[in-house]
Amino acid sequence: EAQVTQNPRYLITVTGKKLTVTCSQNMNHEYMSWYRQDPGLGLRQIYYSMNVEVTDKGDVPEGYKVSRKEKRNFPLILESPSPNQTSLYFCASARDRRTDTQYFGPGTRLTVL
């Protein structure tokens, strides 16, 4: 089954404790992206990747890191999480950024205390 998977789905952590949210797709897509969704602020793009080893900042990259060492995986790293990073995070992938449908993962709900 074609899908985008994210892990964990739910995470409660404390300020400053490094964490990684994994994202994996099995569709051989070139494009992958991370978004966060917050009440009143809607969806905002954090980072995106046009292909392996190519990543770029979205609208809200501060406090996040990403890597794209292989096509299928695009982990989101929070080196020192803070409470303002409490949010719902979505990963997405697409065959081609310009013309193709994005497929979304189920979301990861992160709470930073």
Partner 1 sequence: GIQVEQSPPDLILQEGANSTLRCNFSDSVNNLQWFHQNPWGQLINLFYIPSGTKQNGRLSATTVATERYSLLYISSSQTTDSGVYFCAVEPKAAGNKLTFGGGTRVLVKP
Residue ranges in contact with partner 1 by CB under 8 A: 33, 42-45, 48, 50, 56-59, 88, 90, 92, 94, 97-104, 106-107
Q: How far is the CB of 43 from partner 1 (least distance, A)?
A: 4
Q: Which region holds residue 42: left if phi is over 0, alpha if psi is between -120 and 50, else beta?
A: left
Q: How many CB atoms lie within 10 A of CB 56?
A: 12
Task: Specify the residue, 9 or 17, whose C-beta has the smaller distance to partner 1.
Answer: 9
Residue 7: closest CA among 19, 16, 18, 17: 19
What is d(CA 27, CA 104) in angstroms, rounded to the nearest whole number?
12
What is d(CA 60, CA 43) in angstroms, rounded to the nearest whole number?
10
Q: How far is the CB of 83 from partner 1 (least distance, A)?
A: 22
Task: Specify the residue, 13 or 37, whose C-beta has the smaller distance to partner 1.
Answer: 37
Task: Specify the residue, 12 or 43, whose C-beta has the smaller distance to partner 1.
Answer: 43
Q: How far is the CB of 6 from partner 1 (least distance, A)?
A: 12
